[in-house]
Amino acid sequence: MGVTVSLPFSIPFFPWSPPASSTSAKETLLRRLKGSRVLIPNLYELLPGWRHGMNERYSSMHHEIDDWFCSWVKDDKERRRVIRADFASLAACLYPDAEPDEYRAMAFYHGWIFIWDDVVDDGHVDGLRAAQYHRETCDAVSWCLGSQPFSGPRPAMDGIMSAFAEISRTIVPHSSEDARRRIHDELHAYINTAMWLQGKRKGEILTVQQHLDQRHTSSGVLPSIALLEYIYRLDLPSSIIAHEATQVIINKTCLIIHLVNDIVSFPKELGDNQVDNLIPLLVYHENLSVQEAVLRACALVQEAHSAFMDAERRLPLTAASDDQLQLLVRGCKDMATGMVHWSYLSARYYGENPVREGYKTFVQL
């Protein structure tokens, strides 16, 4: 990783080596992590110069968005989780300039991703049922977003995939062919990686690099970046998207968002005995304290922010693409700061009454 972190306080060092067995390794790691008291720094300070805010339509549309989820999520417990997560708020933070139709569609989309992923994460599907869930999801995504959307026989769709089809019917008419293809391809990559990761959760502890590599696709950020082309009606040529600087901006946006997510979500995940998160993996593989691991992750966010800003100066700006490319860049920045902003607004990570001093959060694991 190669990041040097200066701590404002001393932390006792306890020599420790990872055990050989993956099962005992996870149990030992969980015991090492739990009971710690951790300070999550002010995350806004990691992205200097980037704005954060909320879409002004949140107050008038969030009940409508919640009602849509309640119309097809039948399980009472899952419905309460979805409403508590408040995806209208998430979309408002990520897309502050989106118009009403696009804002609504993105709130639906992020809620759909959450529900789809919950089925995988919670172990509701396994073995043959997991393979079927994987196949049915891929079939539905291809039918909705493939080269000829909504043509041919409609594949089998349960409530989750029928909801995706409804969202897609809003997105497809307002997306260029290239944009739709990128959304399709990134969603397939996300789905494949999420299913692969579910198998890994039952086996070995990932290395730090394996985790970062799989989070690049399993975080679900890349499809959301591709959807910026729909949200802001962009029609950028593939050559612009494929440009080195554009790719750095996309990849660093993805990295920032999944690093921030790991930082804010690891206490909740530890409560579920999950360790496939950067913070526990840094503790395990690099023999850091939990506090040191959090600060290391924050340093990685700062590095990604600097690389993003450097790449922005190398963008291939032309008269034809300048405004649209600038919109894409602004959308990427908004997504990064929006994730930070939402983590402070939502009760998902720290409950209704987190212990805070300004924007610093104190967590007892």
Taking only the tens place, the pLDDT of each residue in 194-227 is 888 776 666 578 899 999 998 998 888 999 999 9
Within-domain flag for 117:
yes
Position 324 scores a pLDDT of 93
Position 16 scores a pLDDT of 39
Within-domain flag for 5:
no
Position 120 scores a pLDDT of 81
Within-domain flag for 1:
no
Q: Which residues contact 196 (CB under 8 A, 6 or more apart)?
A: 214
For residue 360, the surrounding DSSP H or E stretch is strand 360-364
Position 14 scores a pLDDT of 32
Within-domain flag for 2:
no
Position 201 scores a pLDDT of 60
35 Rama sector, left if φ>0, alpha if ψ -120 to 50, beta otherwise: left
Helix (H/G/I), strand (E/B), else coil: 356: strand
Within-domain flag for 89:
yes
CATH number of the domain within which 293 lies: 1.10.600.10
Which own/partner contact pairs does 97-104 have at CB distance under 8 Å and 24+ positions apart? 97/55, 97/232, 97/334, 98/55, 98/231, 98/232, 100/57, 100/61, 101/170, 102/230, 102/231, 102/232, 103/55, 103/57, 103/61, 104/61, 104/64, 104/65, 104/170
Position 50 scores a pLDDT of 97
Q: Which domain holds residue 133?
A: 22-364
Predicted model pTM? 0.89
Amino acid at site 306: S
Q: How far is CA 300 from CA 46, 52, 57, 137, in A?
A: 9, 20, 33, 33
Taking only the tens place, the pLDDT of each residue in 141-152 is 999 999 999 999
Within-domain flag for 9:
no
The tally of domains found in the chain comes to 1
d(CA 174, CA 233): 7
Position 13 scores a pLDDT of 34
Lookup: tokens for 232? 């802001």
Within-domain flag for 95:
yes
Q: Which residues of the chain have pLDDT under 70?
A: 1-23, 122-125, 199-203, 319-320
